[in-house]
Structure 1
Amino acid sequence: MEPTPPLRLTLQERCTLEAWASARSCLDATTSKRALRANIVLVAESGLDARRIATRLGVRPSTARKWLERFVQDRLAGLGDRPRSGAPRRISDARVAEVLLRTLEPTPKGAHPWSRRMMAKATRLSRSTVHRIWRKFEIAPDRLTPAK
């Protein structure tokens, strides 16, 4: 097996990668992943192949190869996560805004504070959707001061 030619990093790339590698945080998965990817590239600069890099860093060789290939292709931008597929949003920003605005309005006929059931009926959304919107925006209608 012929030796892998070492990666050539610019000074700016090296500084960025070293900053990412030293910012390892067990509380933030994104930072931790980026630190590992940065370490793979930094170790590769010495000329080690993917298998040896993987052994040194405790990852699979395919993982080391993947991030080296992405770095060679896209440089630092290649070390970020790519967009993932998923279902498109079914509730528009306008519908979310409607729920938020109605939450701040007085309840119909002076009733108690908005409940999920009342808001769902008023906006024609499901109770769980109303609950997710309120939770996302940290709204608790029973704790709001009613508008006059």
Structure 2
Amino acid sequence: MITFRDYYNNEVRLSFDDHPFSKDPRHVWVICRHKGKWLLTKHKERGLEFPGGKVESGETAKEAAIREVMEETGGTIQQIDYIGQYLVEGRKATVVKNVYYAKVDKLTEQETYFETDGPILLNYIPGKVKYIKKYSFVMKDGVLENCMKFLKKNNIQL
């Protein structure tokens, strides 16, 4: 278990164990790769971030992750794996979010990308993301940093 403070100074607990906080989380975040590049989306208000969002009624967290990647990037997932879960003790609510790692095999242009401006492909994620204004607050806490370490440590093809 890794504990740290997020961008808004809320306590965050991150674990790479199997669903330590909830078997039925209501949020997802998907670290994506497409043809050797990082696949992000540009949220209209927050900036660059990996796709993610809320689990809708009647769907699993994994189904939500697949849907969110399609809605926000036009990406069709070839492979998706659960890598961890985190809990944010916010001032107004507690949020539990599953983190997935996905390989996207194709991008399809869409008429709408919902609350985003669509896909952004990057060769690398800067080490100092938390200091770069164009990135979303979602990318600026220990979740991204620790998930990247986890992927590398476990030899997951980046």
Which interval holds the TM-score relative to the shorter structure? under 0.3
Q: TM-score with structure 2 length normalisation?
A: 0.22
* Bigger helix fraction: 1
- Bigger Cα Rg: 1
Relative contact order: is structure 1 or structure 2 higher (C-alpha 8 Å, sep ≥ 6)?
A: 2
Q: TM (normalized to structure 1)?
A: 0.23
